[in-house]
Amino acid sequence: MSDQNQSKLDLDRLKPYFDSVELADFIETASSDRVVRRLEIYKATNYKGQPPRAGSPTGR
């Protein structure tokens, strides 16, 4: 069993790098009838590279 805290994907931070980011599927593992881990699989399409930094005169 695991009592590890699960991190959440910061979708707002990831979305500027792709045209779209969507949850494709998830897998849950259980022990003693209790979900102990959830793995989320995302589909991201059309990588655009690093987005420009806010406030940068050159955009990078």
Query: Which of 20, 13, 11, 14 shows the shortest CA–CA distance to 45?
Result: 20
Please write the tens of the pLDDT for every residue from 39-59: 889 999 999 988 777 777 765
For 15, the 3-state DSSP assignment is helix
Q: Are the C-beta atoms of residues 60 and 27 closer than 8 Å to each other? A: no
Question: Would you state the pLDDT for residue 20?
Answer: 95
Helix (H) / strand (E) element for 13: namely: helix 11-14
Output the furthest CA–CA distance in the chain (Å, rounded).
56
Q: What is the pTM of this model?
A: 0.64
In the chain, where the domains are located = 11-47
Distance of alpha carbon 60 from alpha carbon 58, whole angstroms: 6
